[in-house]
Amino acid sequence: MSERNEGISRRSFVQTLGMGAAAGALQGHAEARLTGQDEGGTGIVGPGPRPITLRINGNDVRLTIEPATTLLDTLRVHAGMTGSKEICDRGSCGGCSVLVNGALTASCMMLACDAEGAEITTVEGLGTEEALDPVQEAFIRHDALQCGYCTPGLVVAARALLDATPRPSLDEIKQGLSGNICRCGTYTNIFNAVLEASGQAPVTDAEVNRG
């Protein structure tokens, strides 16, 4: 055990250096002690699946999941809502951003049980194909994406920002979107989409980079 470091893979070490991520060690599997149900009124549930109800985009959705399930996996795998993206899986990229009672949240780092009873808004809940959210309209008009994988999270983060600050300054936009990474580097277009969605004039790359 003490020399386990001998077998470190380059990949996992690089992951750790980059993002605090690493492959999980395979250790002894905990014995399942209880079923998913609350037996005997102890208030203790799991580790097996149990029914929970999540309120997602205004609908009550009944699901059967283990306590050890993130909100992101619940949305994508169990509820079939794949708008929220899994990218870093450590709360550092913003790709999985959703609103929980209006608060911008990394759904990959939240257990689904923590969202029980809350109003969850995913990107699917912002606008419809016929009537897009103004943020979505502005993202299209400003070509605020390249590969598009970060876009759902950025749209949700922009919505949260504008809900709290209807006319944000460029600096407030940078702050509000600071938990979302676009590795294609489309930031100027993203900021301009948010500026337009809040009725403000666009800026240039030079203004964005000024500080």
Partner 1 sequence: MKPFSLARPRDFAGAGKLAKDRRFRLPVIKAGGMDVVDHLKEGLIEPDLLIDVLRIDDQPEIREADGAFHIHANATLANIAASRSIARRAPVVAQCCASAATPQVRNVATAAGNLLQRPRCWYYRNSQFDCLKKGGHRCFAFDGENAYHAIFGDGPCHIVHPSNLAIGLSVCNASVRLTGSDRDAVSLADLFHMPDRGLLSEHNLKTGEVVTEIHFEPRSTSAFYAIKHKQSFDWPLVAAAAALELDGDRIESATVTAGAVAPVPWALPHVGEALVGVSLDDDTALRRACATSTRDARPMSDNEYKVRLLPVAIRRAILKAAGREVMS
| Site for partner 1, rule CB under 8 A | 1-5, 7-9, 12-13, 16-17, 20-34, 42-48, 66-70, 89-92, 94, 97, 100, 103-106, 109-111, 113-114, 157, 160, 175-176, 178-179
Both tokens of 145, joined, read: 């994406």
Nearer to partner 1, 114 or 143 (CB): 114
Whole-number Å distance between alpha carbons of 199 and 76: 33
Nearer to partner 1, 48 or 127 (CB): 48
CB of 181: closest distance to partner 1 in angstroms? 8
Q: If you write DSSP's letter for every residue of 146-211 in order, what string do you get?
A: SS-SSHHHHHHHHHHHHHH-SS--HHHHHHHTTT---TT--HHHHHHHHHHHTT-----HHHHHT-
Whole-number Å distance between alpha carbons of 12 and 18: 10
CB of 103: closest distance to partner 1 in angstroms? 4
CB of 130: closest distance to partner 1 in angstroms? 30
The size of the chain, in residues, is 211
CB of 160: closest distance to partner 1 in angstroms? 8
Whole-number Å distance between alpha carbons of 15 and 19: 6
Count other Cβ atoms within 10 Å, centred on residue 125.
Answer: 20
Nearer to partner 1, 21 or 132 (CB): 21
CB of 153: closest distance to partner 1 in angstroms? 9
Bridge partners for 62 per DSSP: 53
Nearer to partner 1, 16 or 128 (CB): 16
Nearer to partner 1, 53 or 178 (CB): 178
CB of 102: closest distance to partner 1 in angstroms? 9
Task: Tell me which residue has tokens 């809900």.
Answer: 163
Nearer to partner 1, 24 or 130 (CB): 24
